[in-house]
Amino acid sequence: MQHDKILILDFGSQVTQLIARRVREAHVYSEVHPCDVTSEWVREYAKDGCLKGVILSGSHASVYEVDDRAPDAVFELGVPVLGICYGMQTMAQQLGGKVEGSHQREFGYAEVRARGHVDLLKDIADFTTAEGHGMLKVWMSHGDKVTELPPGFKLMASTPSCPIAGMADEARHFYGVQFHPEVTHTVQGQAMLNRFVLEICKARPDWVMRDHIEEAVQKIREQVGDEEVILGLSGGVDSSVAAALIHRAIGDQLTCVFVDHGLLRLNEGDMVMEMFEGKLHAKVIRVDASELFLGKLAGVNDPEAKRKIIGGEFVTVFKQEAAKLKAGGQGHKGATFLAQGTIYPDVIESGGAKSKKAVTIKSHHNVGGLPEQLGLKLLEPLRDLFKDEVRELGVALGLPPEMVYRHPFPGPGLGVRILGEVKKEYADLLRRADAIFIEELRNFRDEASGKTWYDLTSQAFTVFLPVKSVGVMGDGRTYDYVVALRAVQTSDFMTADWAELPYALLKKVSGRIINEVRGINRVTYDVSSKPPATIEWE
Ligand code: XMP
């Protein structure tokens, strides 16, 4: 099935991916590509007739600092173009207008007056002034500004400090906005982007996860044929959804390998087996490698050394299993594909996009180079999807929402939540304490929003501190271990605030842990934000 599509050219703004997500929220398929693609590339991209519009992103740079320009073909295809911030400036400059540097940076909330009654903003306003002007509450972040409209353009929006805050050439359907419609601070941002892609570009809103299953299944079948596939299942969202999708497509031609390193959460291994083997009837090989991992970790205190051991052993164990499956036998011809849960942000970030971020959370299961080392072809059925789409797809495939909307869990697992040396005794205590914390986060609701505290936090867990403190229980003295509760709120995991959990919740959790987990007699709450602390303790 061919989808209409919107091309987003990335000039290096931190929020380019948000543009793509907003377009997809309008159920229109969109792709992000670096701004330095050539005109030939653009013409080739548009050849199938599915390209309905182009969006030029913002940039962290000034048009005077860098020479990034949109490929000329963008303005020659006859499709609508929307320039955002830097995108508007380069559009203005390339089409014969003027851009001037400014000493004054405008950053943050602004009220913009809509002008010119253009299609993009028609009937979209946050409020109307006494004089009857439609006003928009927007997010601005720029230094340079357009000072002269290109021929054919009229003024679409203005603020006192930025007289040309928006411009439009309605004959060619070219629009530019100095503010950022993709961020939620721009109240009518989604309405503007919807207007652009649905009404101005007239793109068909056919990007729907429920319907995507059938399409993805077809694609997997075509790619795989009658060959066999191996997938490393971790219990995380991406590998779980990939497994469910591939299993839907090719059933028993898929074998999942689930390496249990003994550092998973309480009952997690059993739950993964119950879901995939029990409910989906997928073939899953569970490798119980906990003794191997604990053996290798004995006596190791340094966090980075622990990470390396866990990551390294994981690859070794997985490779051994994969080699067996590749060799075939017992009615199997041998696997030729390795499936991975790579998602679209990974693709954008490794594809030379300007917005490449320095730090990304990599699952240690998506180990680069593994398919080549194993001599297997790569199958990545989620590589077009954003995380929220992966989750939606997972639910549509029948995975339980609790699994699909779970907080992220680091590859090294409890290995980085037990400070210093990892011991089985510590892991067992930690698992039980952590399960209580998570259970109560799911039980407690915030009255104002009606949401549970699990949903109100981005990541929450318990950390084991291998120190003992004195306590009193009944008539006796105790001398037991300490745990710390950690709960954070964040949108990108690069910075995070500690969550202001209700005291009643903390009280319940601490009471239960101390009463139910013998061996722990003290519970603390971590009130450090990131930076300067990190989310995990190691
Ligand atoms: P920090 O502790 O750096 O964590 O603030 C940020 C996010 O990354 C996760 N994290 C990891 N994930 N392997 C992973 O797969 C790791 O080694 C690892 N270390 C941290 C952490 O859980 C948080 O979501």
Q: Which residue has the higher pLDDT, 107 or 71?
A: 71
**C-alpha 527 – ligand 1 centre gap (Å):** 18
Which atom of ligand 1 lies nearest, measured to the CA of 409? 22
C-beta 412 within 6 A of ligand 1: yes
C-beta 534 within 6 A of ligand 1: yes
Active site residue 85: yes
Rg (CA), the chain: 27
Active site residue 182: yes
Q: Does 1 score more than 80 pLDDT?
A: no
Residue 235: what pLDDT?
A: 86
Catalytic one among 170, 182, 380, 440? 182
Residue 368: what pLDDT?
A: 61
**C-alpha 505 – ligand 1 centre gap (Å):** 25
Which residue, 144, 138, 137, is CA-closest to 102?
144
Report pLDDT digits (tens) over 224-252: 999 999 999 998 999 999 999 999 999 99
Give the mean model confidence (pLDDT) for residues 204-232.
Answer: 96
Which atom of ligand 1 lies nearest, measured to the CA of 496? 5
Q: Could you give the CA distance from residue 215 to residue 515 in angstroms, rounded to a whole number?
A: 52
* N-term to C-term CA, the chain: 46
C-beta 401 within 6 A of ligand 1: no
- What are the residues facing 113 on neighbouring strands? 135, 158
Average pLDDT across the chain, whole number: 93
Minimal-distance CA residue to ligand 1 atom 18: 410
Report pLDDT digits (tens) over 527-538: 999 999 999 999
C-beta 364 within 6 A of ligand 1: yes
Q: Does 358 score more than 80 pLDDT?
A: no
Give the mean model confidence (pLDDT) for residues 466-495.
Answer: 94
Which residue, 190, 188, 175, 191, is CA-closest to 84?
175
C-beta 459 within 6 A of ligand 1: yes
Amino acid (one-letter) located at 273: M
Minimal-distance CA residue to ligand 1 atom 3: 534
- Binding-site residues for ATP, in ranges, read 234-240
Report pLDDT digits (tens) over 256-282: 999 999 999 999 999 999 999 999 999
Q: Does 403 score more than 60 pLDDT?
A: yes
Which tokens in the block code for residue 189?
A: 């941002």
**C-alpha 307 – ligand 1 centre gap (Å):** 11
Catalytic one among 3, 27, 85, 212? 85
Of 54-63, 194-203, 366-375, give the lowest mean pLDDT range.
366-375
In testing the pocket of ligand 1, which one of 346, 361, 534 has its CB within 8 Å of the most ligand atoms? 361
Cβ 91 vs Cβ 70: under 8 Å: yes
291: number of Cβ within 10 Å: 10
Residue 462: what pLDDT?
A: 98
Residue 62: what pLDDT?
A: 83
Which residue, 128, 130, 98, is CA-closest to 114?
128
CA–CA–CA angle 413, 418, 420 (5° rounding): 120
The pTM score is 0.89
Q: Does 497 score more than 50 pLDDT?
A: yes
Report pLDDT digits (tens) over 176-205: 999 999 998 999 999 999 999 999 999 999
Residue 316: what pLDDT?
A: 94
Above pLDDT 70, what percent of the chain?
97
C-beta 227 within 6 A of ligand 1: no
Confidence of residue 77 (pLDDT cuts 50, 70, 90): very high
Report pLDDT digits (tens) over 417-463: 999 999 999 999 999 999 999 999 999 999 999 999 999 999 999 99
Residue 360: what pLDDT?
A: 35
Which atom of ligand 1 lies nearest, measured to the CA of 536? 2
Q: Could you give the CA distance from residue 497 to residue 530 in angstroms, rounded to a whole number?
A: 6
Confidence of residue 22 (pLDDT cuts 50, 70, 90): very high
**C-alpha 362 – ligand 1 centre gap (Å):** 8
Above pLDDT 90, what percent of the chain?
86
C-beta 408 within 6 A of ligand 1: yes
Report pLDDT digits (tens) over 94-128: 999 999 987 777 788 999 999 989 999 999 999 99
Q: Does 354 score more than 70 pLDDT?
A: no
